[in-house]
Structure 1
């Protein structure tokens, strides 16, 4: 039994690592998130300060420090590359499938555990976020560790609570108080629903509490002592005001995450819908359903919503889906999946149609170019449906599951093309390469009324910002930053001086400058919507 479990785990780790690490460094950093979360740890290394995060060399306190530390470590190991930037999200993605396997196999057996981990790895949203340098993969994995540790500790070995407290600590170091609030809310709701009051005392595990405090307090205390402004900005503004107000202008309607769930779970969405409705069947299913419901409702009620926020619900949904498929193989007549296949056909059919039609209803890219990405993806979805239904009609249960699994793999591989495509259009790397070829020592690098986060990362230098603050507004007010945050009038004075400048304009702003008669504008190159201009005359010009 243990040997089978080990083999299943090894196979799952291999498949997950293959999916997440394949071509991981082949496309440039995507704006704005990957540029931001690469530049902050780069600056930490350059400054030798691993307590105070900075972005474009001003204090940046929107997130805690763990993700920056991990990325800085990968930069030290692999250099300042795209692969190094994405290394930890990919590795943590693999770890997340392993933790999901461990919990699911403990609840439902080895085969269900493998199915659950595989379903998680090949769900579109999890697969995608495992290859993007953002904080959310770490948050999801650490919460999964915490929630797995709680349930296994509550129903078995108390030492599993070390994972509960350790996971919460790492989540808290990744994204703040939700690392405590959400796991405790799920655990508390389950205790309340089952009326298993004895678990409360069992959960108050001394070694676990010490582990949590030992992991979280040192950095939070250090950053508060070093930066008195941190406490109010981070805990008040970035937690309570962010959740209850529209301070970040990320408001979306309460139903925002519903289509994200449906599309993000493809091709497995239909397989967790019915299990969610059977919450009273067992304490395990109740726990998984509460895991989903509380996190989903919490973020749906928030005034600030982004797609990756919902990622922590997918391990629970994957276990429900994995258990469903495991039961289908064991009892194909009692636990049939005809309803799930019909739902899958409807969802994947609609997605396929949308993927084929979308290129003709947008004007940002050439339809022919975009079809090279969308048609293979739509094709894999349709082929998966065809193979699955063909196997189902012949009552070949193993072939049905195999068709779904193979189709999921090829669908994920088809999705890889999307990264390469959007990396061409959503990256500052081409702009940075134009600047790098032209700049000379002493040149001032300027971004006019906009800011690409990847520019300072690729150029390894600070950028002057004209009439733009954005998320740097807080840091721009600490210390004397007047040389680096300037208005249009100051910019024009510098432009007309003898100070050599290389300036990034958006196409519209560049045309506005030409229309105003601004002189001495020599174009160095264009990249997407960016126009790189200098006031330095060509070499040899009189």
Structure 2
């Protein structure tokens, strides 16, 4: 196997040193102020409340949300968060720690995979691209299932190609890592943890005609390992909950993919702007990174590029065809694209700047326009998500990054371009949340009212919410009665007698006017009804732009 030039020039640099530096640098970015901001409804609080209830009940098998059965996702993130809560206490930091470490692990594995496939410098560039991708950084610091899925799927797909790459003897250890991480991906988010890696590998074998891989893959012992890891929880949860199989496998997989039952339908092209926006600034270089992957598949390094392209394209198309779409679904394509972009910049550093020039020019022009728009946005928008100061800071970063990109394109300087992209991305990641998140949290977080209830409510008090608000359960540490719709826990609300916890409007008013202390999260119009029609006038304890926390005491 040819040793890359950069590795021959710097033989003293070790993999261990690279990993240590990357861990320190990106560990700071992924973990800094992780518990500073409140958890956001509904996703972050959902995946914190379920493990909190698991620990409270001493049951790590059956997931409950607001104390009713919740079977939409498998158990891996719940277990990771329960472990984090046990070690560090229940709070925002421990709720986000597993995802942040998963994001960091994805960056480190991308370095390892890029280095093994293309050489040390590509590995470092791959880690820089992924770790300085603002959208990936921000989402990795959120408590969502897609981040552990991204890490486990990256490790699975990467382990496969490291075992099966051409001109190398098959490496059984990497094949077994593939089966292990594919099983963990199933525990992270269900059957896609098996289906998507299987589809990528199938097309890799078909297009390269390397059928002998099927003999090398240790299918028999590998599948034993896969099922030994993935199957036990599914067996136990089905044993304890007969309704799990139909809901999880039929409703949550086949109906979610084939129908609009989850009301998340978006057009086929939905993920194109999502990928462009979330992978800024690197998204401008995706077409150049993918160009020629089929034509050059027989050249040195061509099979690895083909495989990475298949990885990104198949997963992207799969979710684009699905009738259920959310922005985080395509996170598993980011590592493959990051390595391809890293390889593109490596060529530029070796003197082949031409493929970067046009994307750099387009990027510079677009960023200058975005900078101007960010400055003007708070002045013209109704209810903007950022203040004028915030818009000016974010806009200034865009403008500076755009100007540097244009200068680098004119001078054909890949180091200046790379430095501008990395520094601008880090500054944007550090600055943007400080200005955007407080306004966003005011609309989507229930930490303050939950803590008020936890501090004031007596054990016999009833906490009620107009619609499901997971943050109330998590921060108050108690069950919430719901009126005006059960939302995503409708399935669990129909199992057993839940009539005392899922109320019609008359039942809520009767409870409010009864002898028990009641704390209620209501919308503005409902507050007016309580003031006008109830025997006990509401006392306001907290309010946001849309909701009020009131009590009858």
Q: Confirm or deny a common fold (TM above 0.5).
A: yes
Q: In the alignment, does 2:124 pair up with 1:114? A: yes
Instruction: Name the structure 2 match of 1:173.
Output: 187
Instruction: Name the structure 2 match of 1:539.
Output: none
TM-superposed deviation, 1:219? 0.5
Q: Tell me the SS of whatever aligns to 2:108.
A: helix
Q: In the alignment, does 2:491 pair up with 1:471? A: no
Query: 1:337-376 maps to which residues of 2 (within 5 A)?
Result: 337-365=356-384, 370-376=387-393
Cα deviation per residue 1:52-106 (whole Å; 9 max; x = unaligned)? 0000000000000010000011111111111111001100101000111111111
Instruction: Name the structure 2 match of 1:452.
Output: 469
Q: Tell me the SS of whatever aligns to 1:151.
A: helix
TM-superposed deviation, 1:198? 0.9
Work out which of the residue numbers 319, 322, 336 in structure 1 matches 2:342. 322
Return 20-29 or 436-445, whichever deviates more: 436-445
Instruction: Name the structure 1 match of 2:4.
Output: none
Going from structure 1 to structure 2, the CA distance change for 1:62 and 1:2 (only over 3 Å counts) comes to farther
Q: Tell me the SS of whatever aligns to 2:521.
A: strand
TM-score (norm 2): 0.92
Query: 1:303-452 maps to which residues of 2 (within 5 A)?
Result: 303-332=323-352, 335-365=354-384, 370-417=387-434, 418-448=436-466, 450-452=467-469
TM-score (norm 1): 0.94
Going from structure 1 to structure 2, the CA distance change for 1:373 and 1:210 (only over 3 Å counts) comes to farther
8 Å Cα contact 2:364/2:404 also seen in 1:
no
**Counterpart Cα distance in 2 of 1:371 and 1:430:** 26
Query: 1:225-374 maps to which residues of 2 (within 5 A)?
Result: 225-280=239-294, 281=296, 282-332=302-352, 335-365=354-384, 370-374=387-391
8 Å Cα contact 1:495/1:501 also seen in 2:
yes
Q: Tell me the SS of whatever aligns to 1:228.
A: coil
Cα deviation per residue 1:314-373 (whole Å; 9 max; x = unaligned)? 10110111000111001245x5521120121243234324423332443335x8x52333
Residue ranges of structure 2 left out of the alignment (5+ in a row)? 1-10, 297-301
Cα deviation per residue 1:377-420 (whole Å; 9 max; x = unaligned)? 22112212223433454454433322222222222212332334
Going from structure 1 to structure 2, the CA distance change for 1:535 and 1:331 (only over 3 Å counts) comes to same
**Counterpart Cα distance in 1 of 2:538 and 2:423:** 55
Work out which of the residue numbers 40, 46, 52 in structure 1 matches 2:56. 46
**Counterpart Cα distance in 2 of 1:317 and 1:121:** 12
Q: Tell me the SS of whatever aligns to 1:255.
A: helix
8 Å Cα contact 2:106/2:154 also seen in 1:
yes
8 Å Cα contact 2:39/2:45 also seen in 1:
yes
Going from structure 1 to structure 2, the CA distance change for 1:57 and 1:490 (only over 3 Å counts) comes to same
Going from structure 1 to structure 2, the CA distance change for 1:134 and 1:256 (only over 3 Å counts) comes to same
Going from structure 1 to structure 2, the CA distance change for 1:98 and 1:383 (only over 3 Å counts) comes to same
Q: In the alignment, does 2:497 pair up with 1:488? A: no
**Counterpart Cα distance in 1 of 2:414 and 2:312:** 29
Q: Tell me the SS of whatever aligns to 1:256.
A: helix
8 Å Cα contact 1:40/1:55 also seen in 2:
yes
Q: In the alignment, does 2:522 pair up with 1:502? A: no
Cα deviation per residue 1:234-259 (whole Å; 9 max; x = unaligned)? 00000001111111111111110000
8 Å Cα contact 2:537/2:552 also seen in 1:
yes
8 Å Cα contact 1:380/1:414 also seen in 2:
no
Query: 1:24-35 maps to which residues of 2 (within 5 A)?
Result: 24-35=34-45
Residue ranges of structure 1 left out of the alignment (5+ in a row)? 537-542
**Counterpart Cα distance in 1 of 2:457 and 2:177:** 51
Instruction: Name the structure 2 match of 1:19.
Output: 29
Number of aligned residue pairs: 532
Going from structure 1 to structure 2, the CA distance change for 1:274 and 1:466 (only over 3 Å counts) comes to same
Instruction: Name the structure 2 match of 1:540.
Output: none
